[in-house]
């Protein structure tokens, strides 16, 4: 089994089989960078958001059908984290733990995207359309729900704290501060500790969310459901689209790690692949949550505002759960004798 997984990983994602390196060697530097930029835009703004939206709407409809309305907010914001999950899984298939940096880095990306960028997008859109009354109504709603906004912000920052600490234990890096000299993972001990730090964050989130649901059940029950489609076919199609996009992104990260190692090493140290996941992978994979946040901000109602804000808090909790899974899988790989790199 171990040999089979090793061969599959090497065939799909090894540097030697990365066709993007061959494309770079054939077309040259500038065309390859242009190709990379265009691909990132297409994946980040089209394929991943569309596939994730298809998957999320189907999951929300299926959840309402089988589990009830109260679980929809959790499911909506959790399924938007599947790009982070698949980016990490594909990375682990390569024998690189660096993919775990995507869910951990997304906890930072979610905060500035959901609490700053998404509201700016909404108000800029209304400003361009001269809908000043909607801007005023939006600001009024934020003031009325100030406690709810603060609740989500505090929980999001709390999840970020757990993810930052876990990132140090699991990968040995603290982004923007520490640059490791080696890209080898040497022990299971710190990997497991980092995973359980993530698990602690998940437990803490559910404790406080349960209290919020008891205090304000209406913001979890009154969501508009006209767009939710309980379709297994659409769910699997959306999932397949996300997996394909994540595979391509990992190929680009591998190619950049190989082609631009001297330059990137001066910024990131030995853990180039990890940092690409932490900054680039996390940003691209967080765009679906941004779409969810923008759409719900625009509805100008408390339940939808809760869903928009949960695009940060719930997603940050989900990212911790994903990183926990990654730490456990990584630990098993090490026990099987794999040498994991960042």
Q: What sign does the dihedral 82-203-194-280 (CA atoms) show?
A: positive
Q: Return the structure tokens found at 104.
A: 């951990």
Q: Which of 14-18, 78-82, 191-195 has the highest mean pLDDT?
A: 191-195
Look at residue 67 and tell me whether its pLDDT is greater than 60.
yes
Look at residue 158 and tell me whether its pLDDT is greater than 70.
yes
Range 179-196 average pLDDT: 73
Q: What is the mean pLDDT of the chain?
A: 85
Residue 67: DSSP 8-state: T
Look at residue 298 and tell me whether its pLDDT is greater than 90.
yes
CB contact set of 238 (below 8 Å; sequence gap of 6+) = 51, 52, 53, 54, 55, 56, 58
Compute the distance between CA of residue 39 and CA of residue 135 in angstroms, rounded to an integer: 34
Q: Which helix H or strand E contains 92, and what residues bound it?
A: helix 82-93
Q: What is the pLDDT of residue 8?
A: 46
Q: What is the pLDDT of residues 69-124, one digit of tens each?
A: 666 666 766 677 889 999 999 998 888 888 899 999 999 999 999 999 999 999 99
Q: How confident is the model at residue 313 (pLDDT cuts 50, 70, 90)?
A: very high
Q: What is the pLDDT of residues 268-289, one digit of tens each?
A: 877 888 899 999 999 998 988 8
Residue 274 forms part of a structural domain: yes
Residue 340 forms part of a structural domain: no
Compute the distance between CA of residue 334 and CA of residue 96 in angstroms, rounded to an integer: 11
Residue 194 forms part of a structural domain: yes
Q: Using an 8 Å Cβ cutoff, are 59 and 89 in contact? A: no
Question: DSSP 3-state helix, strand, coil percentages of the chain (rounded to 5)?
Answer: 85, 0, 15
Residue 341 forms part of a structural domain: no
Q: What is the pLDDT of residue 1?
A: 45
CB contact set of 309 (below 8 Å; sequence gap of 6+) = 114, 115, 148, 149, 152, 153, 293
Residue 178 forms part of a structural domain: yes
Q: How confident is the model at residue 12 (pLDDT cuts 50, 70, 90)?
A: very low
Structural domain boundaries, residue 159: 2-335
Compute the distance between CA of residue 75 and CA of residue 100 in angstroms, rounded to an integer: 21
Q: Return the structure tokens found at 226.
A: 């006209």
- In percent, the amount of the chain with pLDDT more than 70 equals 86
Q: How confident is the model at residue 176 (pLDDT cuts 50, 70, 90)?
A: low
Residue 98 forms part of a structural domain: yes
Residue 342 forms part of a structural domain: no
Q: How far apart are the first and last CA of the chain?
A: 23
Residue 308 forms part of a structural domain: yes
- How many separate domains does the chain show? 1
Q: Return the structure tokens found at 10.
A: 């090497």
Q: What is the pLDDT of residue 148?
A: 94
- How far are the Cα atoms of 91, 216, 222, 286, 310 from residue 164, in angstroms, in the given order? 20, 30, 34, 17, 20
Q: What is the pLDDT of residues 194-224, one digit of tens each?
A: 999 999 999 999 999 989 988 988 887 655 5
- In percent, the amount of the chain with pLDDT more than 90 equals 46
Place of tokens 């000043």: 132
Q: What is the pLDDT of residue 3?
A: 46
């Amino acid at each position: 089994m171990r040999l089979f997984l090793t061969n599959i990983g090497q065939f799909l994602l090894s540097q030697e089989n990365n066709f993007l390196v061959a494309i770079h060697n054939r077309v040259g530097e500038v065309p390859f960078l242009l190709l990379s930029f265009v691909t990132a835009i297409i994946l980040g703004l089209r394929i991943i958001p569309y596939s994730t939206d298809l998957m999320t709407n189907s999951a929300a409809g299926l959840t309402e059908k089988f589990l009830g309305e109260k679980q929809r907010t959790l499911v909506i914001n959790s399924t938007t984290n599947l790009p982070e999950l698949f980016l990490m899984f594909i990375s682990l298939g390569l024998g690189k733990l660096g993919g775990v940096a995507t869910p951990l880095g997304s906890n930072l990306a979610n905060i500035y995207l959901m609490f700053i960028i998404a509201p700016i997008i909404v108000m800029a859109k209304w400003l361009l359309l001269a809908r000043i009354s909607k801007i005023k109504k939006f600001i009024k709603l934020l003031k009325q729900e100030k406690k709810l906004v603060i609740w989500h912000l505090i929980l999001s920052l709390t999840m970020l704290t757990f993810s930052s600490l876990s990132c140090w234990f699991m990968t040995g890096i603290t982004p923007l501060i520490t640059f490791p000299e080696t890209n080898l993972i040497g022990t299971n001990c710190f990997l497991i500790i980092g995973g359980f730090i993530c698990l602690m964050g998940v437990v803490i989130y559910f404790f406080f969310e349960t209290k919020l649901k008891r205090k304000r059940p209406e913001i979890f029950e009154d969501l508009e459901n006209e767009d939710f489609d309980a379709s297994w076919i659409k769910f699997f199609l959306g999932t397949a689209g996300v997996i394909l996009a994540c595979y391509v992104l990992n190929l680009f990260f591998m190619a950049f790690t190989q082609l631009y190692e001297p330059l990137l090493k001066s910024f990131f140290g030995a853990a180039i692949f990890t940092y690409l996941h932490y900054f680039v992978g996390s940003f691209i994979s967080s765009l679906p949550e941004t779409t969810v946040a923008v759409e719900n901000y625009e509805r100008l109602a408390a339940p939808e505002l809760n869903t928009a804000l949960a695009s940060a808090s719930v997603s940050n909790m989900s990212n911790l759960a994903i990183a926990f899974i990654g730490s456990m899988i990584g630990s098993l790989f090490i026990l099987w004798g794999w040498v994991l790199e960042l």
